[in-house]
Structure 1
Amino acid sequence: MHLGSLFDCNPAVNFASRDVANPNVQWGPRFIPDWQFFYVISGEGILHLGPSRHNISPGECVFLGPNDVHLLTTTKATEYYSVHFMFHSDSPVPVHPAYLIRGASAVQLDAEPERFCISIPGAADIELPNHFSIVHVEALFARIVKEYVRENAAYPFALRALMMELLTLVVRSNLSAQADKPASKIGPALDAMHEQPGRQWTVAELADLCCYHPSYFTVIFHQEVGQNPKQYLISERIKQAKQSLLRGKPIDAIAAGLGYASIHYFSNNFKKETGLSPSEFRQRPYAAKTTENEG
């Protein structure tokens, strides 16, 4: 399931708690009606999800969706945070999930779990894993639980803001984990497009840099970055154009340096990708911060 763009998320927290469970407490096998983060503070648990088993240690988090039949079991006395939420909700008011939780059979429990992907503007789509380590998150979980329990004025909106912060932290953590994976198969091509964005690269030239056949190169390129080579090169040009615009470089020089045949063509391409003309982008008060983040 593709969850859309992170920028379009309109989350709502349905339930949040910090609790302690004795050894051998089980949740499931079951379906939940929403999504859930289950974060272990101390103790230990086991996640049974499809054919896989995951040991959940302190500092690790479980991510579950509405189509995942799962069984969570504590093996020791375990302190944990649990947050149920929706990715997209018109209303931020919590809707407790308990009445819609359904039991599941052992056969359903062994079914292959659904995968969940989310788009990150300016980066490749990422798959949100069902089990991952994450740091610097306990204080944020604590704030979510505090808002949920106390129900202070406008608390649903505060929960929405905190949930967006949590999702951002989870996404950044998983992007960092991906960055630590073995070297990219298409690294030489990515480097070439970054260093020479104005060159009219062909797929054959880029594939040759990586020692692949062009058709195979196109497939693995899309797998790694979520775009074809032409789209990626355009994105790289626009990214560098933003940086040059904010440094005060003349628009005609930017266009020529990025391989555009004319200012008109460059301006049309820039507006198509960003929704703004180069001059409009340069005048936006928050543009400098946006470009700094993209670097």
Structure 2
Amino acid sequence: MASEHYHFTAGFNLAPDEPDLTVLFSGEGKPVPGHKMGPSVHDYYLIHTVMDGKGVFQSGSNSHVCGTGDTFVIFPGALFSYQADMEQPWTYVWVALQGEAVQQLFKEVGITPDKPLIHLDNLIEIHNLYEHIRFSFQQSAYPRLESLEASGWLRLLVHKFGLANIGSLTPKSAQLPDVIDRQINQAIRWISLQFHQQISIDHMASSLGYHRAHLSKAFKQKIGMSPKQYLLKVRMDKAKELLGGTLTIDQVSSSVGFNDALYFSKQFRKWSGMSPSEYRNHLRSGT
């Protein structure tokens, strides 16, 4: 392989065991004029970004002339070939990956088997990301940690693909929620993740940049309850879940955002018609 390139370097993952997304290897090279790969198929995804020069990428029956800034993606099982130009052979960087989440990740940034090409402009930044991926495999005696680092850099690279390709995304993936929906979704997310804290609805609205009255009105119109009522529902639903385990009542109370276990018990009885102890006994008895 190296003899067919003016220069060639690569790094390989020694612990490629992440099921969702794992980088297999990454490299950089400048092949000799006319150098060709394929026709063949791979059982992994392979991304190439052209740093300079040009060549031809063939995917199925489609042929694409690729130059500086062009990126092409080879999908598993797809017949492909690519060949360096005879006059201006390309220099490219590449990364191979596999995993259950990869196809959906590519789809979300507009890369599909039918649309395997995008164009990138900020090549210095892109080249740095490829280098970070490759160098991940040359730093330590801990391959598992190297694999995790490479996956992180790969996600940043795909993020850049999405920014470059945003104009060609499908309406569903590109459409942003309207302002009201975004406000409500942010508030729901906040409550769902912070319910165990001493949440102030005023503070939440202010932190999100909204007026409390406006947010509360929109929230109730969409959800059917106020933010305060929704917070109580989230806490009580979580309390019911925790009461099925081994935590004490005090520990359950603290875990769902109540500093006072007696006040928690009072609120729980109002919500469920039973005290926390009665609810726990009900669960254990199966009645």
**Residue 33 of structure 1 aligns with which residue?**
43
Q: Quote the Cα distance in structure 2 between the aligned partners of 1:18 and 1:77.
A: 14
Deviation at 1:10, TM superposition (A): 3.8
Label 1:116 to 1:161 Cα distance change in 2 as closer, same or farther (>3 A): same
Structure 1, residues 16-69: CA drift from partner, whole Å, max 9, x if none? 222220111111111111111112222211111123222221222211121221
Name whichever structure is richer in helix by fraction.
Answer: 2
**Residue 267 of structure 2 aligns with which residue?**
none
Gaps of 5+ in 1: 1-7, 90-114, 198-232, 283-295
Which of 147, 154, 157 is the aligned partner of 2:136?
Answer: 147
Structure 1, residues 168-190: CA drift from partner, whole Å, max 9, x if none? 33234324532x469979x9x97
Which of 109, 132, 138 is the aligned partner of 2:127?
Answer: 138
Q: Quote the Cα distance in structure 2 between the aligned partners of 1:84 and 1:163.
A: 11
* Aligned partners of 1:117 and 1:127 also within 8 Å: no
Deviation at 1:84, TM superposition (A): 1.4
Structure 1, residues 203-251: CA drift from partner, whole Å, max 9, x if none? xxxxxxxxxxxxxxxxxxxxxxxxxxxxxx4x65222556872526797
RMSD: 4.5
Which of 117, 121, 128 is the aligned partner of 2:104?
Answer: 117
Label 1:169 to 1:183 Cα distance change in 2 as closer, same or farther (>3 A): closer
Which of 261, 264, 267 is the aligned partner of 2:230?
Answer: 267
**Residue 216 of structure 2 aligns with which residue?**
255
SS class of match (1:40): strand
Deviation at 1:255, TM superposition (A): 3.3
Label 1:27 to 1:270 Cα distance change in 2 as closer, same or farther (>3 A): farther
* Aligned partners of 1:241 and 1:254 also within 8 Å: no
Q: Quote the Cα distance in structure 2 between the aligned partners of 1:36 and 1:78.
A: 17
Gaps of 5+ in 2: 1-17, 191-202, 240-254, 258-287
* Aligned partners of 1:47 and 1:56 also within 8 Å: yes
Q: Report the AA paired with residue 83 of structure 2.
A: T
* 2:89 paired with 1:77: yes
Label 1:160 to 1:55 Cα distance change in 2 as closer, same or farther (>3 A): farther
Deviation at 1:252, TM superposition (A): 8.0
SS class of match (2:105): strand
Q: Quote the Cα distance in structure 1 between the aligned partners of 2:64 and 2:233.
A: 46
Deviation at 1:165, TM superposition (A): 2.3
Matches within 5 A, 1:94-109: none
Deviation at 1:266, TM superposition (A): 5.9
Question: Which is greater in Rg?
Answer: 2
- Count of paired positions: 200
Structure 1, residues 146-194: CA drift from partner, whole Å, max 9, x if none? 333x36322442243233322333234324532x469979x9x978x42
- The structure, 1 or 2, with the larger RCO (C-alpha pairs under 8 Å, 6+ apart) is 1
Q: Report the AA paired with residue 166 of structure 1.
A: L
SS class of match (2:165): helix
TM superposition score normalised by structure 2: 0.54
